[in-house]
Amino acid sequence: MFAGPFGVGLFKKAAESGLVTLNIRNIRDYTHDKHHTVDDAPYGGGAGMVMKPQPIFEAVEALKAELAAQNINEAIPVILLSPRGRKFCQQMAVELSNNAHLILICGEYEGVDERVSEHLVTDEISIGDYVLTGGELAAMVVVNAVSRLVPGFLGSAESLISESHTGGLLEYPQYTRPPVFREWAVPDVLLSGNHEQVNKWRRQQAVLHTLQRRPDLLVNADVDIKEK
């Protein structure tokens, strides 16, 4: 599943240059039985299967041992992707990007044995209030959002400063050539060459778009009295 999204574009480039490394493990490789069993029926009954703790613990311990062998001994966040986790946001991506290493665990089936959350995991993250069939897509979302914050990943750091969710506002509208497309003209101010007016307009638009589409964001947004 990971080969597609991470085998193209900026991520591929970053991986080739060694800026970002993705080290994917198959939980089944850490089982000890003939059938490589990773799940079992829930105690107490009920539908679905629960992922066993042992292969997950051993996979994470093996990763940590490999890192320790490379003299990497810092505390590494161990994150379980789960619809029960804290809801992922840009601020969390920024915080996670300060770590040189992250370990992400993708849950499957109906759930993961609670002892994984209690004794192995340092943080549980959900990418939104909906349920996926497994944590893989969620892990890809987190890896993508965090990786692009690694210095050197994006062409210009400037694109990070003005993008949506930085400063708590949505991004202002962008236009490119032609100046008129199907009778719809680009706002005059953007063609004026007056940078002060352009910046003022962009700021107003960012506040306006946030108010119209995501008023919930304005509570914590970086806006002054006049903008409020």
Give residues in contact with ligand ADE (CB under 6 A): 81-83, 107, 126-128, 130-132, 135, 138
Q: Given the complex with ligand ADE, which of 126 and 210 has the nearer CB atom?
A: 126
d(Cα 102, Cα 63) in Å, to the nearest integer?
11
Strand 123-126's sheet: what is its strand order?
A: 103-106, 78-87, 123-126
d(Cα 117, Cα 51) in Å, to the nearest integer?
12
Closest CA to 142 of 86, 101, 88, 99: 88
Give min distance, CB of 77 to ligand ADE, in A: 15
Give min distance, CB of 76 to ligand ADE, in A: 19
Q: Given the complex with ligand ADE, which of 135 and 168 has the nearer CB atom?
A: 135
Q: Given the complex with ligand ADE, which of 106 and 207 has the nearer CB atom?
A: 106
Per DSSP bridges, beta strands 103-106 and 78-87 are: parallel
Give min distance, CB of 79 to ligand ADE, in A: 10
Q: Given the complex with ligand ADE, which of 124 and 168 has the nearer CB atom?
A: 124
Distance of CA 98 to the CA centre of its chain: 13
Give min distance, CB of 19 to ligand ADE, in A: 25
Q: Given the complex with ligand ADE, which of 110 and 171 has the nearer CB atom?
A: 110
Q: What is the CA radius of gyration of the chain?
A: 22
Give min distance, CB of 107 to ligand ADE, in A: 6
Closest residue by beta carbon to ligand ADE: 138
d(Cα 64, Cα 68) in Å, to the nearest integer?
6
Give min distance, CB of 27 to ligand ADE, in A: 15
d(Cα 209, Cα 221) in Å, to the nearest integer?
13
Q: Given the complex with ligand ADE, which of 13 and 87 has the nearer CB atom?
A: 87
d(Cα 73, Cα 66) in Å, to the nearest integer?
10
